[in-house]
Amino acid sequence: MMTVLRAARLFLVCLVAFAGLAASRASAQSLVPLNISVIGSGLVTSASISLHCQATCAFNNPVGRQVPLGASPSPGFVFAGWSGAWSGTGPCAVTMDTAQTVTATFTQSPVWVSVAVTGGGRVMGSSGGVDCGLACVAGFPLNAHLTLAALPANGYAFTGWGGACSGVGYCSLTMDWIQNVTAGFVPAFPLSLLANPGGVVTLAPGGNSCQGICVLNFQSGSSVTLSAAPASGWRFADWGGACYGVRGDCTVTMNAAQSVTANFLTP
């Protein structure tokens, strides 16, 4: 009798152990992994599984569970979209019917420059992205360096920059914030200058220097000062055309197209 009872007890112990092992295996087989990858700078979250993922994460979930995921970009970044088991940029909800992989991509937010042009001319950017004849907006990476050039149309002169830039030279910007730039062009007359061999003529405003033949546009009604500088071993002789005399400086009023000659002689 004792032998029978012991055998029964042993059978029950084995049965319980087998049932526990089977349940454990069934439980293990009912979990499937959710693999998450983050590209760029941002955070993937899910309240249902207490998920906070900034790089690469993996979480086991029961088969059939639906896991909602949210994407939160870091400052200076935007959410570009999901890929893998979900696509698009809207709310994500992954059904765990098998192992799933989801990637969240974040890209750096562009920093915008707006350009407004008045008059006849264009504004061009050194690195592309800006080719503006009236008004335009372009985006650049944070802290990118941008150089803008003002290009007058025929019969116009550039009067200067406004907004984030000033003066009449190139406009240099560091794209660390939204930038607004204006460029003004006005009707102009051409000044044709012949600087004979032996010297250089500098024009103001603008600071352009001329050797040989030069044609520059200046605002209608403006005054242009020409300064003659002889080369070593030469001397300034005199002006011709719209300028006259032997002094090294000459001022021309641009109320029409003008022509000037600067003559240099050897001693």
pTM for the structure as a whole: 0.57
* pLDDT tens for each residue of 209-254: 999 999 998 888 999 999 999 999 999 999 999 999 999 999 999 9
Q: In angstroms, rounded to a whole number, what is the distance separating the alpha carbons of residues 71 and 93? A: 12
CA distance 189 to 201: 19
Query: Which residues on adjacent β-strands are paired with residue 254?
Result: none
pLDDT digits (tens, 9 = 90+) for 35-49: 999 999 999 999 888
Percent of the chain with pLDDT over 90: 71
**Structural domains in the chain?**
32-108 (3.10.20), 111-186 (no CATH), 188-265 (3.10.20)
Sign, CA torsion 158/197/199/236? negative
174-186: burial string, b at 16+ Cβ within 10 Å, e else: ebeeebebbbbbb
Q: Dump pLDDT digits (tens) for 51-90.
A: 899 999 999 999 999 999 999 999 888 899 999 999 999 8
Burial 99-120 (b: 16+ CB within 10 A, else e): ebebbbbbbeeebebbbbbebb
Q: Residues 107-145: pLDDT tens digits?
A: 988 899 999 999 999 999 987 789 999 999 999 988 899
